[in-house]
Amino acid sequence: MAYTAAHRIMASDPEMVGSNPHTQSQTTPDALAPGGTDPIIQQAMEEFEGGLARVTVLRVRPQWDTAAIRERLWDVVLASIALVALSPLFLLAAILTRYKSPGPLIFRQKRLGKHGVPFDILKFRSMRIDAEKFLREHADLYRRYVANNFKLDLWEDPRISPCGRFLRRSKLDELPQIWNVLRGEMTLVGSRPIVPPEIVNYGIYAKRLLSVRPGVTGYWQVTMGGEMGYPRRVVLDMFYVEHKTRALDMLILLKTFPAICFHFWKNRKSAKPPPAASH
């Protein structure tokens, strides 16, 4: 069975993400209904036929090879420039975080880094200080959180402060991740870091995902505004890992700001609950 055909099936059937596409011998490309595949996935597969065939091979470069040193210097220089250039936005985000919401400025959450080593991702706090505890104490809310790819819509999340909704929509809450880059836990461009329970969604591709450092921005964010769920996110993450180049990273960086603006505009009503149905 062609590898790309197996991946098309995986993209359209969430239950196949945790299985090995090479073992699905009873399913053929003809079994897919015409037009049943997501057009973005179909285009990626057609343009890069066979490009994902190598994702199950863990190829980790030596920690201090020349390419790794160049990448690290690239991150440090650009992150340092961004830290200075965006300092007014840091101040604005800090003010919004503390406005009518007493507590620490920075929220820390465990995410998986390179080789699966956990680290604390940094964000400006957009929620109440006991947000994690509150989520776990409310079973129905937690079920919706897991079912919605480990996030909640702004209008249905009672943990978010009024100013926190603006921070989320504008992505200002993620500015402190520049510190994660300077500390070497993240890179500027890469697959977004995931919370530990999310790793099960990557199935046989988990090791490949964790073979590189996670990024502040990434391919699937600028492609779908960060709103794509699993298993399509797996396909785009693996595509980026396999085709990572400096040119692609620069293109993603250039597309990040327009993608943020589009996300802000598209979700301008998401901070409010939908109107109640009239009876």
pLDDT in tens, 192-250: 999 998 999 999 999 999 999 999 999 988 886 556 678 888 999 999 999 999 999 99
pLDDT at 230: 84
Q: Are residues 47 and 82 in the same domain?
A: no
Residue 264 pLDDT > 90: no
CA distances, 248 to each of 201, 228, 241 (Å): 25, 20, 11
- Domain extent, residue 10, equals 1-53
Q: Does residue 34 have a cis peptide bond before it, meaning omega lies within 30 degrees of 0?
A: no
DSSP secondary-structure letter at 126? -
The verdict on residue 278 lying in a domain is no
Q: Are residues 43 and 74 in the same domain?
A: no
pTM of the entire predicted model: 0.70
Q: Are residues 42 and 100 in the same domain?
A: no
DSSP secondary-structure letter at 276? P
The verdict on residue 135 lying in a domain is yes
Q: Are residues 97 and 181 in the same domain?
A: yes
Name, in order, each residue with C-beta under 8 angstroms of 137's C-beta and a sequence gap of 6 or more.
Answer: none
Name, in order, each residue with C-beta under 8 angstroms of 202's C-beta and a sequence gap of 6 or more.
Answer: 17, 209, 234, 237
Q: pLDDT-based confidence at 30, cuts 50/70/90?
A: very low
The verdict on residue 229 lying in a domain is yes
The verdict on residue 220 lying in a domain is yes
- When divided into structural domains, the chain yields a total of 2
Q: Are residues 154 and 241 in the same domain?
A: yes
- What integer best gives the mean pLDDT of the chain? 78
pLDDT at 116: 94
Q: Are residues 227 and 180 in the same domain?
A: yes
